Chains A and B, each alone.
Chain A
Amino acid sequence: MVEYNSKVLDRTFGALADPTRRRILAQLARGEECVTRLARPHAMSLAAVSKHLIVLEKAGLVKRQREGRVHTLALEAQPMQEAQAWLDRYRKFWEANLDQFENYLEKLQEKEKKHEDK
């Protein structure tokens, strides 16, 4: 099977496993933001937002640019795509297998019916 970078996936899924961080990402998905603007809709202190941003940065989901005292944040696509690829691999695998499983069960049923009719 295709090898996936386990550490990258751990960090991506770990970073996504928090409602506040998902909301921050959703906000960034609409465009770049500065840190103070990000804190506002979450009714959080700047320090609390910063903690979440560090997690997101470490996961590579967010990129920070500094212009003087203003920190601008932008969403980074790559790790999310890898996470999506991980999901897709299993979706395809199990969808194909569930098709087979379903067909097999139906065949089993038919066989048994024939057996009973005899």
Chain B
Amino acid sequence: MRINSEVQKPDDATLVLRRVLKATPERAFTAWTSPEHIQQWMRPEPGMVVPLVHMDLRVGGKFRIQMKNPDGEYFTAVGEFREVEAPQRLVYTWDWEKDGSGTEFGEVEGNTSLITVEFFERGEQTELVMTHTRFATVESRDNHAQGWTSALENFAKFLGE
């Protein structure tokens, strides 16, 4: 675990990840949203490749990120942009395709969640704050998110004992 990263902020939202990046917000935003950059960094597991990235970076625009592991299994994430405010803020839905091996948008699992990514200038660095929630709209998330991260944490501890 790196020192400059932090996961889950109790009493805030669902799942919050923070990361200080050695880059300007502009550079970070571009790297986060450009297909050619995404293909370079998106790698949830070692050996994964990103064969295809589709990005229509505007409100209502859709994206599709196709990932493939060394066993040839596809993991294809899709979603729609809800807010696009370069270089500070991005809000988009997130879902997985059932199959994911095609080159076009396919049928999704339907467990749609919502991601908010914010880039804050911190001197010469940028703090990335990412919030991933269960809820399908920003309003719903804000209504529901307060406090339950800590509730879950407490219960996880309780259940683990």
Could you list which residues of chain A lie within 8 angstroms of chain B, going by C-beta atoms? 1, 3-4, 6, 9-10, 13-14, 16-17, 19, 22, 25-26, 29, 77, 80-81, 83-84, 86-87, 90-106, 108-109
Residue in chain A with minimal CB distance to B37: A104
Question: Which residues of B sit under 8 angstroms from A105, Cβ to Cβ?
Answer: 21-23, 27-28, 31, 41
Indicate if B152 sits at the interface (CB-CB under 8 A): yes
Complexed CA–CA distance, A22 and B19 (Å): 29
Q: How far is the CB of B60 from chain A (nearest CB, A)?
A: 24
Asked if A90 and B132 make an inter-chain contact with CB atoms under 8 angstroms apart, the answer reads yes
Cα–Cα, bound, A4→B144 (Å)? 20
Chain A: minimal CB distance from B11 (Å):
11
Instruction: Give A47 Cβ to nearest chain B Cβ, in Å.
Output: 24
Inter-chain contacts of B22 with A (CB < 8 A):
102, 105-106, 109
Give me the interface of B with A, judged by CB distance under 8 Å.
Answer: 2, 5, 7-8, 14-15, 17, 19, 21-23, 27-28, 31-32, 37, 40-45, 75, 96, 109-111, 113, 128, 130, 132, 134-135, 143-145, 147-148, 151-152, 154-156, 158-159
With A17-B144, A87-B14 already in contact, the answer to whether A97 and B152 are too (CB < 8 A) is no
Given pairs A4-B111, A22-B151, A84-B152, 10 additional interface contacts (CB within 8 A): A1-B109, A6-B111, A90-B15, A91-B15, A94-B15, A97-B42, A97-B43, A99-B2, A100-B42, A102-B2
Assuming the contacts A97-B44, A106-B22, asked whether A9 and B134 have C-beta atoms less than 8 A apart, the reply is yes
Secondary structure at chain A's binding surface: helix, strand, loop or mixed? helix
Q: Chain A residues near B151 (CB, 8 Å)?
A: 16, 22, 25-26
- Chain B residues positioned under 8 Å from A17 (CB to CB): 143-145, 148
* In-complex Cβ contact of A83 among B113, B128, B152 (8 A): B152
**B96: which A residues are within 8 A, CB to CB?**
1
The answer to whether A103 touches B41, judged by C-beta atoms less than 8 angstroms apart, is yes
Closest CB of chain B to A87's CB: distance in Å? 5
Q: A17-B148, A80-B155, A87-B15 are in contact. Are A97 and B111 (CB under 8 A)?
A: no
Q: How far is the CA of A77 from the CA of B152 in the complex (A)?
A: 11
Cβ-defined partner of A96 (8 Å) among B43, B135, B155: B43
CB-CB < 8 A to B148: which residues of A? 13, 16-17, 22
